[in-house]
């Protein structure tokens, strides 16, 4: 086993607030250049660019995990990361059923769907920045039904985090991990209970990819190994 560097929270040009340079090939090349071993693509309420980025990753032997960053009814951001594109797209179907509204690119930004060659395939016109009419508990249950991992996004940030929206982390909510921004003070972490802590970049711009990452001690880079590390099973662990 060895240490793998994982940045599990990266947006593409599909997210209205992300830079148009956040294309599959560019993200993969940037990640490889930084020595990352695993990245997860988590656009707001959509997985329409995950297949392209997974394909770009396969071409360059980078493990790209398909995911979404779902904005719950409580306006809490939650990462949902899956082992296959099919499962991420299945989750997307559920999210789209409960997501209302139309994007206004002039206010929120373009939502660009691309292929693995960084060519534009179209524009998503849903209000991806909006909240899905599903509660946190419902989302966590559905992600787990699909075999995915749930990670509460940027829990230490003053907006769209579980702490900012609820004031606490419900003890019965079966989150697999909490994401903090790098450098968060230890005394705050101690209030978060026993859940594993990861750090990720939440990159919306290429220069932010890998700015924060989590080292995982694993046998190989894939979702199941990360799950074992989060649960501290069979020698896998979060850390070096
Ligand atoms: Zn977020
Ligand atoms: Zn994000």
Minimum-distance ligand to the CA of 152? 1
Centre of ligand 2 to C-alpha 200, Å, is 9
Q: What is the DSSP letter of 126?
A: B
Where does 2-238 sit in CATH, by number? 3.20.20.140
Give ion ligand 2 contacts, CB < 5 A. Answer: 69, 202
Q: Mean per-residue pLDDT for 76-93?
A: 98
Centre of ligand 1 to C-alpha 69, Å, is 7
Alpha helices per DSSP H over the chain: 24-33, 50-59, 85-97, 105-108, 136-145, 162-166, 186-189, 223-230
> Taking the CB of residue 177, how many other CB atoms lie within 10 A of it?
24
Sheet of 63-71: strand order equals 197-199, 177-180, 149-152, 77-81, 63-71, 38-44, 2-10, 214-218, 237-238
Q: Is the pLDDT of residue 193 over 90?
A: no
Nearest CA to 237 out of 219, 210, 222 is that of 219
Centre of ligand 2 to C-alpha 201, Å, is 8
Q: Please tell me whether the overall predicted TM-score, pTM, comes out greater than 0.75 for this model.
A: yes
Q: Domain extents for the chain?
A: 2-238
Centre of ligand 2 to C-alpha 234, Å, is 31
Give ion ligand 1 contacts, CB < 5 A. Answer: 77, 153
Centre of ligand 2 to C-alpha 65, Å, is 15
Minimum-distance ligand to the CA of 43? 2
Minimum-distance ligand to the CA of 22? 2
Centre of ligand 2 to C-alpha 58, Å, is 23
Task: Dump pLDDT digits (tens) for 34-59.
Answer: 999 999 999 999 999 999 999 999 99
Centre of ligand 2 to C-alpha 120, Å, is 22
Name the band, by pLDDT with cuts 50, 70 and 90, for residue 240.
confident
Nearest CA to 71 out of 103, 107, 42, 106 is that of 42
Centre of ligand 1 to C-alpha 220, Å, is 28
Share of the chain above pLDDT 70, in %: 95
Tell me the C-alpha to C-alpha distance, in Å, between residue 71 and each of 7, 99, 159, 165: 20, 10, 12, 12
Centre of ligand 2 to C-alpha 60, Å, is 24
> Taking the CB of residue 14, how many other CB atoms lie within 10 A of it?
27
| Lowest model confidence (mean pLDDT) among 65-79, 149-163, 188-202 | 188-202
Q: Point out which residues pair with 126 in neighbouring strands.
A: 102
């Amino acid at each position: 086993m060895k240490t793998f560097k994982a940045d599990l929270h990266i947006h593409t040009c599909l997210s209205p607030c992300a830079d148009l340079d956040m294309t599959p090939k560019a993200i993969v090349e940037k990640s490889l250049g930084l020595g990352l071993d695993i990245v997860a693509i988590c656009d707001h309420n959509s997985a329409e660019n995950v297949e392209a980025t997974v394909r770009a990753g396969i071409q360059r032997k980078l493990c790209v995990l398909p995911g979404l960053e779902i904005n719950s009814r409580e306006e809490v951001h939650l990462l949902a990361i899956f082992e296959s594109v099919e499962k991420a797209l299945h989750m997307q179907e559920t999210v789209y059923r409960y997501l209302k509204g139309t994007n206004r690119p002039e206010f929120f930004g373009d939502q660009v769907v691309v292929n693995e060659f960084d060519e534009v395939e179209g524009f998503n016109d849903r209000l991806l920045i909006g909240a899905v009419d599903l509660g946190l508990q419902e989302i966590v249950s559905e992600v787990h039904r699909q075999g995915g991992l749930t990670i509460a996004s940027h829990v230490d940030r003053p907006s769209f985090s579980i702490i900012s929206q609820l004031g606490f982390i419900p003890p019965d909510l079966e989150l697999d991990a909490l994401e903090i921004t790098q450098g968060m003070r230890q005394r705050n972490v101690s209030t978060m209970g026993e859940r594993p802590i990861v750090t990720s970049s939440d990159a919306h711009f290429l220069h932010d990819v890998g700015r924060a990452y989590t080292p995982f001690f694993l046998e190989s880079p894939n979702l199941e190994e990360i799950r074992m590390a989060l649960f501290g099973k069979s020698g896998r662990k979060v850390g070096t």
